[in-house]
Amino acid sequence: MKEKLIIFDTTLRDGEQSPGASMTKEEKIRIARQLEKLGVDVIEAGFAAASPGDANAIRSVAQVIEKSTICSLARATESDVRAAGEAIKPAKSGRIHIFIATSPIHMKMKLRMQPDQVVEAAVKAVKLALEYTDDIEFSAEDAVRSEMDFLVRIFDAVIQAGAKTLNVPDTVGYSIPALWGERIKQLIESVPNSGKVVWSTHCHNDLGMAVANSLAAVMNGARQVECTINGLGERAGNASLEEIVMAVKTRRDVFSCDSRIDTTQIVPASKLVSSITGYPVQPNKAIVGANAFAHESGIHQDGVLKHRETYEIMRAEDVGWSKNKLTLGKLSGRNAFRTRLQELDIVLENEDVVNNAFARFKELADRKREIFDEDLQALVSESVVAHVSEHYRLVSLRAHSETGLLPVAQVRLNVGGKEFVADSQGGGPVDATFKAIEQIVQSGIELQLYSVNNITSGTDAQGEVTVRLSKDGRIVNGQGADTDIVVASAKAYLNALNKLDSKAERAHPQV
């Protein structure tokens, strides 16, 4: 029997710290349900002290998830620990994750605290957290640049205070595998009672080594890895869950532990996170990229046809790649629609949202012969968003492009209940459409990113457009899907404007 490797997913917390990736409560619940299906052991659902909305989202996730432990992040302060403790209260199994920076540069320049004060704050916070749960994790932020003696001292102190999991983060993505493995080994050897706690690692990808560093930690005794779906996260992201899980599974000859992840749920989880956050997956991304199992060269194709294992170390179906599953068509009724949503674990509590999603489905089915699960996920996202806030709504769009002529677009919008029309020219039909929208809304935003991906294959597939807008330091991603990518673009733009309109300010845990 292999030892257990605990998978701690922080897509809903560290992943959410990616620019524009902030999620609504409903979106977090949808992702949490998929993480539970995937078999994630711990779901870090957010940072309760960030805002009342964040605390509420953690509480809602804690109410619906049964099999995974639900965790909230907290700084080592009384108010943060209490906010986290209250938020995880409804969970069947709840964890509080306390962190404080331990490197000289962070203690001096950011916290402006003496090392003794840092130890005191950590111990006090752990003891307070025990009022809410006995499952306490402690992280020494920026452990990579912390002094070994100080790490040993603070970890010893928090074990005595009651912490059960000790996390060693490479907060700035600075380490390299051999050094990181060595650091974990030394800590386990030097901290008194280290055998009574679970050692964990949390690596960022600034030098592209988050997964390699995490695996080095595992090879040296870490039994929890903190990671995110698609490697989403601050800056260059976190270690990617799918790569860690598949490395440990595929190279079982070198790892003495294994996770309990149902790997066939990996690709659906990747697609869901990508569609909700607006972060597309690059085609050559390991495991979940569209080309991860595609063999282009003739020699490779020939080898795979003769004997699959000549060029394949994993099977595409084992990580959830299957031919797009035909779900519904034009003649499918409301019952079939509802049943498929249930099978996908999509729970829509509000009847208006169900009606809206069904109307969108019928409209899509008129234009697209076959509707796949991915199409359903996209249209449900739109219906949920439409229900929460739609100050700006697309009424109609006409775009025209012809070789030799400047593309033009006419947009009709409903803004807070009133209709407005605008015409514009542009470099292309999408540009003309955005300019026409701006004539009406005059938002003053900056467009930071525009990208189009196909949701399924074929020329009748829906295009999923992501736009990233920023205004006054706030950044949001908007998504829109349609078989017409100009319409999808307009929807994405308006979705982002609606988010800018409605999203409240939140505190950032590390600032």
Query: Do residues 47 and 54 touch, judged by C-beta distance below 8 A?
Result: yes
- As a whole number of angstroms, the distance between CA 259 and CA 248 comes to 8
Task: Find the part of the chain contacting ligand KIV (CB under 6 A) among 27-35, 164-172, 177-185, 451-459.
Answer: 164-172
Stretch that binds ligand KIV, among 165-173, 274-282, 313-321, 378-386 (CB under 6 A): 165-173
Question: Residue 241 burial (CB < 10 Å; 0-12/13-18/19+)?
Answer: buried
Which of 135, 141, 438, 464 touches ligand KIV (CB under 6 A)?
141
Asked if 95 touches ligand KIV (CB under 6 A), the answer is no
**Burial letters for 161-192: b for 16+ Cβ neighbours within 10 Å, e otherwise?**
bebbbbbbbbbbbbbebeebbebbbebbeebe
Q: Which two tokens stand for residue 215?
A: 């695996």
- In the complex, the smallest distance separating the C-beta of residue 310 from ligand KIV, rounded to whole angstroms, is 40
Number of residues that bind ligand KIV (CB under 6 A): 10
Asked if 80 touches ligand KIV (CB under 6 A), the answer is no
Can residue 14 be called a binding residue for Zn ion (CB under 5 A)?
yes
As given in the structure block, the two tokens for residue 363 are 């409209």
Q: Is the distance from CB of 497 to CB of 443 less than 8 angstroms?
A: yes
Strands (E), 211-268: 224-227, 257-258
- Tell me which of 33, 59, 106, 202 binds ligand KIV, using CB under 6 A: 202
Spatial distance between the Cα atoms of 483 and 454, rounded to a whole number of angstroms: 9
Relative to beta strand 408-415, strand 392-400 is antiparallel
For ligand KIV, which residue of 20, 169, 268, 478 counts as binding (CB under 6 A)? 169
Q: How many whole angstroms separate alpha carbon 242 and alpha carbon 281?
A: 13
Smallest separation (angstroms) from Zn ion to the CB of 120? 24
* Contact call for residue 139 and ligand KIV (CB under 6 A): yes
CB of 73 to ligand KIV, least distance (A): 6
CB of 232 vs Zn ion, minimal distance in Å: 11
The reply to whether 75 sits near ligand KIV by the rule CB under 6 A is no
Q: Is 36 in the site for ligand KIV (CB under 6 A)?
A: no
Q: Does 183 contact ligand KIV by CB under 6 A?
A: no
User: Does residue number 171 form part of the binding site for ligand KIV (CB under 6 A)?
Assistant: yes
CB 130, min distance to ligand KIV, A: 20
Rounded to a whole number of angstroms, the minimum distance from the CB of residue 495 to ligand KIV is 28
Q: Which ranges constitute the DSSP H helices of 65-147?
A: 78-87, 104-105, 115-129
d(CA 239, CA 205) in angstroms, rounded, equals 7
Q: Which does 139 bind (CB under 5 to 8 A by kind): Zn ion, ligand KIV, none?
A: ligand KIV
The residues of the shown chain that bind Zn ion, judged by CB under 5 A, are 14
The residues of the shown chain that bind ligand KIV, judged by CB under 6 A, are 14, 73, 99, 139, 141, 167, 169, 171, 202, 204
